[in-house]
Amino acid sequence: MDTHLRKKALLSGCLWMGLGHILYLKQQLKGALYALAQFAVLFFVAFEQTAEGLALNFNGAIVKGVRGFITLGVFNPDLPVRQRDHSIFMMIDGLICLLVLLVLAILFVLSIRNIFKITAHYKATGGELPGNRAFVRSVSEQAFPAIGLSPLVILLLFFVILPILFSFFLAFTNYSFPNNIPPANKVDWVGFKNFVDLFGGGQAMWTGALGRVLLWTLAWGVLSTGCVYFCGMFVALALLNRDIKVAPVFRSLFILPYAVPSIISLMVWSNILNGTFGPLNAILKQIGVIQTNIPWLSEIGFARFSMVFVNTWAGFPYHMLMVTSILTSISPDIFEAAGIDGASNWKRTRFITIPLVLRQTMPLVIMSFTYNINNFGAAYFLFSGAGSTRGPSAADTVATNANGIDIVVSWIYKLTMQNPQKFQYAAVLAVLVFVVLTPFAIWNYTRTKSYKESDLL
């Protein structure tokens, strides 16, 4: 029995990943795969693809990518615009290279952990090594998960993780109109400047706009979630009342707003609520409720009310369905027992049904809250109808592009897609959304059944 086996394997394994497995642990196959991974990465570090072929100058694609990520290119006004360094491309390429290096680092840690595992086994069994056959067996056991998950991992890596990382890093640059739009100009790292601008009053107008948008986003999240939830619950309870004769008719009718694509309902409503030509004002005038038009979408108070109202219109059917499905699953015994105790209809609803439903739908309410906070459509399409303004503007709207009804996500959209583009501030807001909502999602998850029952955490 070799007492120095672990030391030797670790030493060689650190020298070149997988070497320890090949030389000392009799797992040549696994070791070769590890070694190959390191070779592939080092190849793209060491060799540069030039016009004459490969050149060994330690200036390969990965080195270039990482360097580009650090410098974000060089500003060279003598070159034509198309040939200048494109900071944003360099940043994304650099991120991809960093991801590749990260994967290699994870592999390295795994290989070292594996050495510990094998040598521990070696010690415990008095000199037994698992060998290549054990490796092949474990691979064939893991082949189904590995193959099944690979498309998912690739898609997530590039279309979900990379964009999130990118917008995180963007928050520390000055990528914005008019002076830092590549390729004409270059983008630079600016540290925490954007955070100071927005949160610390570095740009007073922007800090003011941020305060307004944040307050309204929060109020919007609470109001909209509360309204859809309680309307949904009310309708569900009402429809289960034994005195309601045509409940199925009502139910099919009430499901309609859920069936219509929300973007279409929002655009339809933006026309109905139109202050000048909209039918709502026309009806109210005709029945004599009002004399002059109500600016449903262009005065801040009315506009916010309209947002919540239309969102309730579109969103309550989902909650109605949910509460109905919970209520039908509650055992009738509970109600019978309450009936024997002499509880009245109302008391039964108040003390048994509502608490039960509230408890069971809590995860749903939190989910609905995070959904509404991110509900771009309600703040954008409702204010896009023919001839209408873009919503009530505030004093700083011209500079900051945020008006009275903008919530954080719609502001992010405007900062990214409309002039003047301020990508860096949009990225700061994205980081903010992420930091605020992530604990909600995780906390919500820890309350669910699948968390409590599964072996996951």
Partner 1 sequence: MMKRTRQIPAGRIVSAVLIHVVLIIFAILIIYPLLYVMGSAFSPSSSLQGIGINPFPQNPTLIQFERLFNTTNYKVWYTNTLTIALMVSCATLVITSTAAYIFSRFKFMLRKQMMIAFLVFQIFPSFVGMVAIYVLLLRIGGLDTKWGLALVYIAGNIPYNTWLVKSYMDSIPKSFDEAARIDGASNFTTYRRIILPIAKPILTFLIITSFLGPWMDFIIPRMVLRSEKQLTLAVGLFQLIDGRTANNYTMFAAGALLVAIPFVFLFLIGQKSLLTALGAAGVKE
In the window 206-225, what residues touch partner 1 (CB under 8 A)?
none
Contact pattern for partner 1 over residues 94 through 123, marking x by CB under 8 A: ----------------x-------------
126 lies in the binding site for partner 1 (CB under 8 A) = no
Mark the segment that binds partner 1 (CB under 8 A) among 58-66, 67-75, 129-137, 385-393.
385-393
Residue 207 or 270 with smaller CB distance to partner 1: 270
Determine how many CB atoms are found less than 10 A away from the CB of residue 112: 16
Smallest distance from partner 1 to CB 143, Å? 9
Q: Which of 294, 310, 290 is nearest to 405 (CA)?
A: 310
195 lies in the binding site for partner 1 (CB under 8 A) = no
Q: What are phi and psi of 189, to 5 degrees?
A: -75, 135
Mark the segment that binds partner 1 (CB under 8 A) among 25-33, 47-55, 364-372, 393-401.
364-372
Which 323-342 residues touch partner 1, going by CB under 8 A? 324-326, 329
Mark the segment that binds partner 1 (CB under 8 A) among 38-46, 53-61, 194-202, 242-250.
242-250
286 lies in the binding site for partner 1 (CB under 8 A) = yes
Mark the segment that binds partner 1 (CB under 8 A) among 193-201, 258-266, 289-297, 393-401.
258-266
- Written as one string, the DSSP assignment of 122-168 is HHHHTS---HHHHHHHHHHHHHHHHHHHHHHHHHHIIIIIHHHHHHH
**Residue of 53, 56, 80, 243 interacting with partner 1 (CB under 8 A):** 243
Smallest distance from partner 1 to CB 413, Å? 6
- Contacts for 407-410: CB closer than 8 Å, 24+ residues apart: 407/213, 407/216, 407/217, 407/220, 407/373, 407/375, 407/378, 407/379, 408/213, 408/214, 408/217, 408/373, 408/432, 408/433, 409/373, 409/374, 409/375, 409/376, 409/379, 409/433, 410/376, 410/379, 410/380
Smallest distance from partner 1 to CB 333, Å? 19
**Residue of 71, 360, 393, 397 interacting with partner 1 (CB under 8 A):** 360
Contact pattern for partner 1 over residues 142 through 171, marking x by CB under 8 A: x-xxx-xx-xx--xx-xxxxxxx-xx--x-
> CB under 8 Å to 277, separation ≥6 — which residues?
387
Q: What is the largest CA-CA distance in the chain?
A: 99
Contact pattern for partner 1 over residues 386 through 425, marking x by CB under 8 A: xx---------------------x--xx--xx-----x--
**Residue of 36, 362, 398, 399 interacting with partner 1 (CB under 8 A):** 362
CB 408 within 8 A of CB 373: yes
Residue 120 or 441 with smaller CB distance to partner 1: 441
Q: Which of 169, 210, 160, 216 is nearest to 190 (CA)?
A: 169
49 lies in the binding site for partner 1 (CB under 8 A) = no
* Angle CA 198–203–209, to nearest 5: 60
Q: Report the phi/psi class of residue 431: left, alpha or beta, with left for phi > 0 and alpha for psi in -120 to 50.
A: alpha
**Residue of 27, 111, 265, 311 interacting with partner 1 (CB under 8 A):** 265
63 lies in the binding site for partner 1 (CB under 8 A) = no
Residue 78 or 341 with smaller CB distance to partner 1: 341
Smallest distance from partner 1 to CB 453, Å? 8
CA 396 to chain centre: 28
Query: End-to-end CA distance of the chain, in Å?
Result: 39
Smallest distance from partner 1 to CB 126, Å? 28
**Residue of 204, 215, 222, 263 interacting with partner 1 (CB under 8 A):** 263
- Contacts for 38-44: CB closer than 8 Å, 24+ residues apart: 38/104, 38/108, 41/100, 41/101, 41/104, 44/100
233 lies in the binding site for partner 1 (CB under 8 A) = no
Tell me the C-alpha distance between 345 and 324, whole Å: 18
**Residue of 250, 300, 302, 397 interacting with partner 1 (CB under 8 A):** 250
Helix (H, G, I), strand (E, B) or coil at 410: helix
Smallest distance from partner 1 to CB 376, Å? 7
Residues binding partner 1: what is the number (CB under 8 A)? 109
Smallest distance from partner 1 to CB 24, Å? 23
Q: Report the phi/psi class of residue 244: left, alpha or beta, with left for phi > 0 and alpha for psi in -120 to 50.
A: beta
